[in-house]
Amino acid sequence: MAKVIVVTSGKGGVGKTTSSAAIGTGLAKTGAKTVVIDFDIGLRNLDLIMGCERRVVYDLINVINGEANLQQALVKDKRVDTLFILPASQTRNKDALTQEGVALVIEALKADGFEYIICDSPAGIEQGAMMALYFADEAIVTTNPEVSSVRDSDRITGMLSSKSYRSEKQMEPVKVHLLITRYSPERVEREEMLSIEDIDDILGIDLLGVIPESQDVLSASNLGEPVILNQESDAGKAYQDAVDRLLGTPRDLRFVTIEKKGFLSRIFGG
């Protein structure tokens, strides 16, 4: 059974695209045919993060409007055989993203044998974000340990339970997962940052993973290589753990407490 998974948040800049790329890549690496769809119409970014920007010819809106077929628009990843991306349009306006259009695209992807359809949502609660979440079976609510992000995550969780296809058809609700990103155990220790427990208390969503704040995320985007492909990196490993949990394999949380430091760095607070 194909699964539609939306990566959403309400707030912008919290790591949705980074997470969509990483988790999509991780799922595809298991051999499952996976597509990541960029719903950020007008602000295409996923192609850059996945490093395939120069191979984009057609986009999601072209497919919806019948100007290109799915096969023409899908960009195949160069590293993982079973991974594809469906880019966002850079030029059209958001109204082009109709519910009927999105339904047709998702049906076509399912018919084509895709097992995971990852929807990278734009920020906000407008048309683009609502269309990204409408057909979701599962949702990954991406949250930074910061007040506005947590509040927006709560809002978007409400939307998932009231404005999705599953809610409107009174089916089993969208399965919602919490992904905390840009977590800094040092700052949590100093009580400057909301902790995992704090966020859990407020949102009450099942925790899928915690991705530490990491410089490797920027270098990964510079290279156009999803950070999960860098298994030297804490962020890459944390994304791999999240993918494993998504697939049902329990994994202990890592990188959520302060690393033991050497004597010198301890007294100098490095």
Ligand X SMILES: Nc1ncnc2c1ncn2[C@@H]1O[C@H](COP(=O)(O)OP(=O)(O)O)[C@@H](O)[C@H]1O
Residues that bind ligand X (CB under 6 A): 9, 12-18, 123, 181-182, 211, 213-214, 217-218, 221, 235
Candidates 38-46, 98-106, 168-176, 183-191 — which segment interacts with other proteins by CB under 8 A?
A: 183-191
Pick one of other proteins, Mg ion, ligand X, none as the site partner of residue 150 (Cβ within 5 to 8 A by kind). other proteins
Pick one of Mg ion, ligand X, other proteins, none as the site partner of residue 241 (Cβ within 5 to 8 A by kind). none
Which is nearest to 209 in space by CA: 251, 260, 170, 159?
A: 251
Q: Which is nearer to other proteins, 155 or 261 (CB)?
A: 155
Contact between 155 and other proteins by CB under 8 A: the answer reads yes
Which residue matches tokens 């949502």?
A: 121
Q: Please, what is the end-to-end C-alpha distance for the chain in angstroms?
A: 50
Q: Using the rule CB under 8 A, which residue among 105, 140, 150, 227 binds other proteins?
A: 150
| Strand ranges in 49-161 using DSSP code E only, listed in sequence order | 75-76, 83-86, 116-120, 138-143
Contact between 200 and other proteins by CB under 8 A: the answer reads no
Instruction: For residues 208 and 189, give the distance between their C-alpha atoms in angstroms, rounded to a whole number.
Output: 22
Determine contact, residues 19/74, Cβ cutoff 8 Å.
no
Task: Tell which positions 201-260 bind other proteins, by CB under 8 A.
Answer: 201-202
What 3-state class would DSSP assign to 207? strand
Task: Tell which positions 12-71 bind Mg ion, by CB under 5 A.
Answer: 16-17
Dihedral of the alpha carbons of 164, 25, 249, 253, in degrees to the nearest 10: -90
Pick one of other proteins, ligand X, Mg ion, none as the site partner of residue 113 (Cβ within 5 to 8 A by kind). none
Contact partners, residue 250, CB within 8 Å, separation at least 6: none
Query: What kind and span of H or E run contains 73?
Result: helix 70-73
Q: Which is nearer to other proteins, 4 or 194 (CB)?
A: 194
What are the structure tokens assigned to 92, written together? 């059209």
Q: Which is nearer to ligand X, 144 or 164 (CB)?
A: 144
Pick one of ligand X, other proteins, Mg ion, none as the site partner of residue 266 (Cβ within 5 to 8 A by kind). none
Residues that bind other proteins (CB under 8 A): 146-147, 150-151, 154-155, 158, 188, 190-195, 198, 201-202, 269
